């Protein structure tokens, strides 16, 4: 099949969610507006996630996987997915499925006019502390990046692959993807999507890596922005 869109699914100790991931992604492949395939990135899981991923991929031709030797974090998993994508469009969704694969179609409606389309979680189903810390972190990040985005931590995005592959990734950069597209003179937009409570497994982010960690990452972004190389080739001879 001539695939057009790759969905990256980072996985770290999500054995209780993976059968539901298979079911919902298979449903989405049947209604997607693009020919779509799925790429699991197992970020060094220590539970039974890898065995489940391999069984899913054996059952489904459009599913493939990458397995890390050690846990390297969400940004590393996303980067690996970008590196191994061979379709014009790439996106990602968390394996906890607090966002719905069906909402990729909402984002794909706009990707022709933009280089990154990100979801904004409407009516978030998280705790007060999680929502408040995320809101504060987003406000701080916007003051550093001026990217205009309200919810860069939303785990539902679609990006044109050539832009995604040019992003110089570092730990924590998954919150700065719109800003990194803007550094490439690309265009970004945010679209409201649905949000659901976590049904199984454990959240991987606490107060530190949802609030204090991103504040430190903002300074790394400012350094990168100052040093970033961006050019356009006018002519080759």
Cβ atoms of 140 and 215 closer than 8 Å = yes
pLDDT band with cut points at 50, 70 and 90 for residue 125: low
Q: CA-based diameter of the chain, in Å?
A: 59
Q: Between residues 207 and 98, which one has the greater pLDDT? A: 98
Rounded to an integer, the average pLDDT of 215-234 is 81
pLDDT for 128: 53
- Residue-wise pLDDT for 4-26, tens only, equals 999 999 999 999 999 999 999 99
Cβ atoms of 77 and 43 closer than 8 Å = yes
For CA atoms 39, 83, 195, 199, give the dihedral sign.
positive
pLDDT band with cut points at 50, 70 and 90 for residue 227: confident
Superfamily of domain 5-227: Spore Coat Polysaccharide Biosynthesis Protein SpsA; Chain A (3.90.550.10)
Q: Which of 103-117, 121-135, 149-163, 206-220 has the lowest mean pLDDT?
A: 121-135
Cβ atoms of 193 and 97 closer than 8 Å = no
Which residues, in sequence order, are CB contacts of 163 under 8 Å at separation 6+?
115, 116, 181, 184, 186
Q: What would the two tokens of residue 129 be? A: 């502390």
- Residue-wise pLDDT for 43-67, tens only, equals 999 999 999 999 999 999 999 999 9
For residue 2, the tally of other CB atoms under 10 A from its CB is 5
């Amino acid at each position: 099949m001539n695939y057009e869109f790759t969905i990256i699914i980072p996985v770290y100790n999500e054995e209780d969610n993976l059968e539901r991931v298979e079911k919902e992604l298979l449903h989405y492949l049947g209604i997607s507006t693009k020919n779509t395939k799925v790429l699991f990135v197992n970020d060094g899981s220590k539970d039974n996630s890898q065995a489940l991923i391999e069984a899913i991929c054996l059952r489904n031709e459009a599913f493939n996987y990458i397995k890390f030797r050690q846990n390297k974090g969400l940004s590393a998993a996303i980067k690996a997915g970008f590196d191994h994508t061979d379709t014009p469009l790439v996106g990602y969704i968390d394996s906890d499925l607090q966002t719905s694969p069906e909402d990729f179609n909402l984002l794909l409606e706009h990707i022709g006019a933009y280089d990154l389309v990100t979801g904004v979680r409407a009516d978030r189903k998280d705790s007060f502390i999680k929502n408040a810390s995320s809101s504060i972190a987003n406000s701080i990040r916007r003051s550093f990046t001026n990217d205009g985005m309200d919810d860069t931590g939303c785990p539902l995005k679609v990006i044109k692959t050539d832009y995604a592959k040019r992003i110089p990734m570092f730990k924590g950069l998954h919150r700065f993807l719109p800003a990194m597209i803007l550094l490439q003179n690309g265009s970004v937009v945010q679209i409201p999507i649905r949000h659901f409570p976590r049904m199984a497994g454990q959240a991987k982010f606490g107060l530190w890596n949802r609030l204090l960690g991103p504040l430190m990452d903002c300074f790394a972004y400012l350094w990168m922005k100052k040093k970033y190389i961006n050019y356009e080739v006018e002519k080759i001879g």
